[in-house]
């Protein structure tokens, strides 16, 4: 990684074959894989900086969330959301080498087979489950638990579905909080079976989740530690941090726009770096569409307001935004049960936990929430209720709208809502009482009908873009109604044994609220689960050079520009039922392969 006052100048003087914009989750995968070829010179521009290895807020699993709101976070926020009572929501995104995987809660899971096969049905050839499983496995090094842990923590997995030689070490937690022992039996008593093959193409049911944690060191695994750190001394790989990308340099030749390089700012000065083969945009679902628009690729009406020249017309840039929506119900529990909240209010307990972690790699600082269940819509909503939901749909006219609408069909069996249960108060709106202890049931809607946009701010194009998820608007009212049904099922979970014996009563929302009050509570408590996708989506069969749908083709090439690709979560055309981390690594792996294949390597 280049350092010093002359770092930017030295970077621009290098002869790069490929320039990668963004040293985040996908960007470092691409850079590491391309630079395996010694004859290729690869440069990476990252706006943030490297995180020191001894940064507990990032490296220590049980301190999840502490990196949010720091200098390693872009600290974005949405516009006022009309259907959320005018609230603006914080949208944390990683601004550091390693990206958002340095800030997330380390959950490592995969979507269902049908989630990815739906991409292929849209015309995105090569993106179905059978093709993508190879890349999921290629990214991971799975460390198997011992037999005692399997039995004690109800751990199941399909050994054949996992990679054993990839860069990212993944594992099952060695310790779990108190209620995990009740999770599987409780769900079984509600007719929800434990899924013993949850990483093999079917993600419905309950399971103990895997995490991106190295069990030998009990530290977070993310792309900076797994993909970049082991290869950072390669002579053909150069990373420049603190580099704010302004735009992609496009030049026209024989009527065709060609990506020639990247304009960026470093320490207050502006520079241009050149790429002889391709520019790869891996800045994520928020920054990637912004950079395309700053480069003159997008909707002319939006670009003109920002004073940007339109070079390539594509009204899909920044559109089709899909996000997971989350609420958190809170329950009163026995005050003797240890929770993470204890460490936040008691310095002595925190110091003891830190010492145990330092000396034995055990205890509260190793704990993550791994009690999970993904429930299909047919379990949550009665048949008559599904008919009511479908009445809110307009007639789907394109493949994407039809694919989204199909998620309301009675035969749909994907995990429509995710539940996670753990001790501690996860809802900042909860009216807490001194001396009380709490547990949280998260319910996270996976297949949103709310669709929003991310665009440059006409008043300040190079500052934070305008993020408008349009939660619960238009067809998004389906999401709000599903959340109501999901809350009812969530209450059933906490009223079933053995969890019923662990919790006392629901305290937020208060016990006894009626349907109208539940609705108001959902409006006032819905937040993001930090999983935005699709703002530079693959166009599939209806791509037509960006006119009929999408921003990139199935080879991730930006429509209308030669030598420019997007490789990150923004290319996903449809939201998936899973946390995004493992899928973004797989996208990075496949993207690197596609680039090398198209180069004839």
Residues marked as catalytic: 531, 579
Phi, psi of 173 (to 5 degrees): -55, 145
Q: Is 91 exposed, middle or buried (0-12, 13-18, 19+ CB in 10 A)?
A: buried
According to DSSP, residue 546 is labeled G
Binding residues: 245, 530-531
Contact present, 17 and 276 (Cβ < 8 Å): yes
Q: At what angle do helices 581-598 and 129-139 cross, to 10 degrees?
A: 100
Q: Reduced to 3 states, what is the DSSP secondary structure of residue 398? A: coil
- Strands 42-46 and 237-241 come out as parallel
- Strands 168-172 and 140-142 come out as parallel
Q: Reduced to 3 states, what is the DSSP secondary structure of residue 147? A: helix
Phi, psi of 279 (to 5 degrees): -105, 130
DSSP 357-395: HHHHS-SGGG----EEEEE-HHHHS-HHHHHHHHTTPPP
Binding residues for FAD: 245, 530-531
Angle at 142 between CA 139 and CA 144, to 5 degrees: 175
Let me know how many helices (H) and strands (E) the chain has, helices first: 19, 27
Element housing 280 (H / E): strand 269-281
Which residues are bridge partners to 438 per DSSP?
A: 332
Phi, psi of 499 (to 5 degrees): -65, -30
Measure the CA–CA gap between 320 and 413, rounded to whole angstroms: 23
Q: Reduced to 3 states, what is the DSSP secondary structure of residue 287? A: helix
């Amino acid at each position: 990684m280049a350092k010093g006052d002359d770092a930017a100048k030295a970077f621009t003087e290098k002869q790069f074959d490929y320039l990668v914009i963004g040293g985040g989750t996908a960007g470092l995968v691409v850079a590491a894989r391309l630079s395996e070829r010694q004859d290729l010179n690869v440069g990476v521009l990252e706006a943030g900086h490297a995180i020191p290895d001894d940064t507990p807020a990032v490296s220590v699993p049980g301190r999840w969330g502490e990196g949010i709101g720091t200098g390693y976070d872009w600290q974005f926020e949405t516009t006022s959301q009309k259907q959320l009572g005018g609230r603006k929501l914080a949208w944390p995104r990683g601004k550091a080498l390693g990206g958002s995987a340095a800030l997330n809660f380390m959950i490592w899971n995969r979507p269902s087979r049908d989630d990815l096969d739906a991409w292929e049905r849209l015309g995105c050839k090569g993106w179905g489950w059978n093709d993508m499983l190879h890349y999921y496995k290629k990214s991971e090094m799975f460390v198997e638990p011992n037999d005692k842990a399997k039995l004690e923590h109800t751990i199941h997995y399909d050994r054949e579905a996992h990679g054993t030689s990839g860069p990212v070490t993944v594992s099952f937690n060695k310790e779990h909080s108190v209620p995990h022992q009740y999770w599987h039996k409780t769900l079984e008593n509600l007719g929800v079976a434990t899924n013993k093959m949850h990483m093999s193409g079917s993600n419905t049911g309950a399971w103990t989740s895997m995490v991106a944690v190295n069990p030998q060191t009990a530290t977070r695994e993310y792309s900076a530690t797994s993909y970049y750190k082991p290869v950072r001394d390669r002579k053909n790989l150069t990373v420049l941090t603190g580099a704010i990308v302004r735009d992609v340099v496009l030049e026209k030749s024989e009527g065709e726009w060609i990506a020639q390089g990247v304009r960026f700012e470093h320490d207050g000065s502006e520079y241009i770096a050149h790429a002889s083969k391709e520019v790869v945009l891996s800045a994520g679902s928020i920054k990637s569409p912004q950079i395309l628009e700053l480069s003159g690729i997008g909707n002319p009406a939006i670009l003109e307001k920002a004073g940007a020249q339109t070079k390539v017309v594509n009204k899909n840039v920044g559109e089709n935004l899909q996000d997971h929506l989350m609420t958190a119900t809170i329950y009163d529990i026995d005050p003797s049960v240890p929770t993470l909240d204890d460490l936040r209010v008691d310095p002595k307990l925190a110091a003891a936990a830190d010492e145990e972690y330092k000396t034995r790699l055990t205890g509260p600082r190793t704990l993550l929430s791994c009690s999970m269940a993904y429930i299909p819509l047919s379990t949550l909503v009665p048949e008559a209720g599904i008919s009511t939901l479908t009445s809110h749909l307009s007639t789907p006219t394109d493949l994407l709208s039809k694919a989204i609408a199909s998620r309301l069909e009675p035969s749909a069996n994907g995990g429509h809502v995710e539940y996670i249960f753990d001790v501690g108060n996860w809802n900042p709106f909860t009216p807490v009482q001194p001396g009380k202890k709490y547990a949280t049931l998260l319910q996270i809607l996976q297949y949103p009908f709310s669709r929003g946009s991310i665009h440059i701010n006409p008043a300040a194009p190079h500052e934070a873009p305008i993020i408008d998820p349009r939660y619960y608007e238009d067809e998004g009212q389906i999401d709000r109604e599903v959340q109501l049904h999901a809350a009812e099922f969530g209450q059933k979970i906490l009223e079933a044994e053995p969890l019923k014996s662990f919790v006392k009563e629901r305290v937020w929302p208060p016990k006894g609220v009626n349907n109208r009050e539940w609705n108001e509570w959902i409006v006032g408590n819905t937040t993001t689960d930090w999983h935005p996708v699709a703002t530079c989506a693959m166009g599939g069969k209806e791509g037509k050079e960006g006119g009929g749908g999408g921003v990139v083709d199935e080879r991730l090439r930006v429509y209308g520009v030669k030598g420019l690709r997007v490789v990150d979560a923004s290319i996903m055309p449809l939201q998936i039922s899973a946390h995004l981390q493992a899928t973004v690594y797989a996208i990075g792996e496949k993207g690197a392969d596609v680039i090398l294949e198209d180069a004839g390597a």
